[in-house]
Structure 1
Amino acid sequence: MTDGKDGDSAGFVARHRPGRDRDALVAQAADRADEIPMLRDSLAGRPGNLVPLTEEALALAGLRQLLGPEDAVPALLRLGARAAMAAGATVTPAEPPLRVDLGPPGAIELPRGRERPTGLTPRRLVEACHAALATRDRIALDLFAQVPVDRIARQPPAPEERIYGLAHAQGLQALLRGDAAGNQLLLQAIQGCNDTALAPAARDYAQFIVSPEIELALLHRDPDAAQFDKALRNALVLHRRYWSELRPNPGEAQDSDPAGFIALGPLAWAAMRHDQGLPVGIRSDYLPQGLVDGAV
């Protein structure tokens, strides 16, 4: 494992150094690993726990990418993707219950016709979509196609949802069903990332994380390998800067947040590009290489 920009090379972007020691991160991983089966077992009676399950699974995936074993990462990303998309799909009008496989002990049934689950946002759907694309998880992607994205935003929508979040999630949905309108929605979203109506912390996140991943979505089929690799490298460097240098809350570092240890958007589009038979010339601690290559 390498840390920080000093570990970079022409074809490699190194991870930032966490601000907590390894023992503290190992303890955090153990706590999250204990939480996941309890949340999964609670879903029959408390389907709202799909969103916390998503959060715990994606966080543990980040910690496993940092600490190992890396081969645990794909299953955690799939679980997080399916849980979030299932939460979104339950918002559809009442009809036969939704059956979804979230791992042992097997498929569960969830009621439909629910209100938007607390904590589910367009951004969470985008993260889940990236996790599903990175792991080639057809179950999660099929669930995403059922989600009424316009009903997932808060009411009234938060500025980041109104300005770019809804367009981003809807653009991905359209892109995945082969609708050319997806590109226009993604262009709308990327333009919104610079909107001065966003609060400073929200604009930082949009510019450092969201905008670069949308650029990769728009470029992932581009035969120009140099252009894609330039955008991928830029996205990874900005990802590192966001998680290691910026402080959205004054005085509070975020360099040990598990969300920073995997670059989900860049990972998704690198994996998709690989599956198009196009080269990906940048590697990184932020990108599980087995997922980029489709080997796991």
Structure 2
Amino acid sequence: MTATVDRHGAAGPDDEAYAARMTTTAIEGIESLEDSPGMLDALWNSVRLSVAARSAVDPDGAGINTWEAVVNAAQVGSALFQVTGATEGTVECRIHHEIRRLPAIGPKQIANCPNWLDAFWFAVICRDQKRMTSLCEVPMETLRASGAMHDEYLYHWVATLQAYWTHRQADMVEELTLAFKQSHPDVARIAPRDWLQQISYPPINLFYCFVKQDHDGFNAALVEALEMHKTYWSQEERDFDVSGLWAIGPLAMACFAYDGEFPINVVSEYLPSQLLNRAWLGEFPT
């Protein structure tokens, strides 16, 4: 039986124009990046906003412009950790169809766990295994050196994903156990409770069901994750924000499951079908 989770909000008359503006802004930022590498942080925000704006007008991810926006986000997210992981010389990064040569900048606050997770989600959604591997080679010391203030469970969650992708089963089990324990609302101290429970925790639970090969449990957890995502983003202070129109973390987990031949019995505009089913894979070099 297929479950449906309706998306909050409704399309507006200015959404197409807004998406076009955000796309233009992101591409302009990419084109100027080699001359202004200090703008990488702003560009990272810009490419993610471009994806969010596209999600408002193309909820299924059926358009080439949407796929290009998602690939740009994966490429910029990967580049962020390449340049902060090096302390000298230049780093070559493919971004928006071209190889860009960016100077190494060493550890910076932007190289933190939340940004790593976003970068990894986009790489997973693009099925970009090379970038996934590169991100999984980022040392935990680099993330800690960012000086970012967030709860300890995020380090264990990142370490869980790194261990999974690099086939370190024992480490994955240990880190996942710690991520579960330390993400409990009674333990976490920095993250707002609603964000922790409705946005940050659900992908951890989905991953647990995935590695257990629990098909029914995964689908039930996916419905729950999307309902919680909807609850969080439909609050009055957030319901205008396009950033919540796709559930990026649950989508990445669903991509893992789909590729692992799980039946995905959930339909929702929070989960763009054409990204989930790899429809755009191979459209152009990424």
Which TM-score band applies after superposition, normalised by the shorter structure? 0.7 to 0.9
Change (3 A) 1:146 1:109: farther
CA RMSD after TM alignment: 2.4
Go from structure 1 to structure 2 and tell me whether the alpha carbon gap of 1:143 and 1:239 turns closer, same or farther (over 3 Å shift).
same
Aligned residue for 1:22, secondary structure, equals: coil
* Counterpart residue number, 1:249: none
Provide the TM-score with structure 1 as the length reference. Answer: 0.83
Q: Which residue is equivalent to 2:122?
A: 131
Q: Is the 8 A contact 1:225 1:279 kept in 2?
A: yes
Residue 22 in structure 1 maps to residue 12 in structure 2: yes
Distance in structure 1 (CA, Å) of the matches to 2:152 and 2:177: 12
Residues 130-279 of structure 1 aligned to structure 2 (within 5 Å): 130-153=121-144, 156-158=147-149, 161-180=150-169, 181-196=171-186, 198=188, 202-245=192-235, 253-279=237-263
Q: Is the 8 A contact 1:213 1:265 kept in 2?
A: yes
Q: Counterparts of 1:2-151 in structure 2 under 5 Å? A: 11-17=3-9, 22-68=12-58, 70-71=62-63, 72-94=65-87, 97-104=90-97, 106-116=98-108, 118-151=109-142
CA contact (8 A) 1:97 1:110 kept: yes
Structure 1 CA distance for aligned equivalents of residues 69 and 129 of structure 2: 15
The 3-state SS of whatever aligns with 1:220 is helix
- Render the CA deviation track for 1:156-178: whole Å, top value 9, x for unaligned: 541xx232222222221221111
Any idea what the Cα deviations from partners look like across 1:229-284, whole Å, max 9, x if unmatched?
Answer: 10110001001001112xxxxxx611122220111111111111111122111111
Question: 1:153: how far off?
Answer: 4.3
Unaligned runs of 5+ in 2: 281-286
* Equivalent in the alignment of 1:4: none
> Is the contact between residue 77 and residue 131 of structure 1 (CA under 8 Å) also seen in structure 2?
yes
1:10 Cα shift?
Answer: 5.0
Deviations 1:44-94 (A, max 9, x none): 132233332222222222222221274233322221122122111222243
Distance between the aligned counterparts of 2:253 and 2:90, measured in 1? Answer: 32
Q: Which residue of 1 aligns with 2:283?
A: none
Partner SS, residue 192 of structure 2: helix
Q: Which amino acid aligns with 1:111?
A: P
The TM-score with structure 2 as length reference comes to 0.86
Cα offsets for 1:118-146 (capped at 9, x unmatched): 54421111011111111101342233134
Structure 1 unaligned spans of 5+: 1-8, 246-251
Q: Distance in 2 between matches of 1:130 and 1:221?
A: 17
Relative contact order higher in (CA < 8 Å, ≥ 6 apart) = 2
Q: Is the 8 A contact 1:92 1:146 kept in 2?
A: no
Structure 1, residues 189-237: CA drift from partner, whole Å, max 9, x if none?
Answer: 2332224464586221111111111111122244432111101100010
Contact persistence 1:84–1:120 (CA under 8 A): no
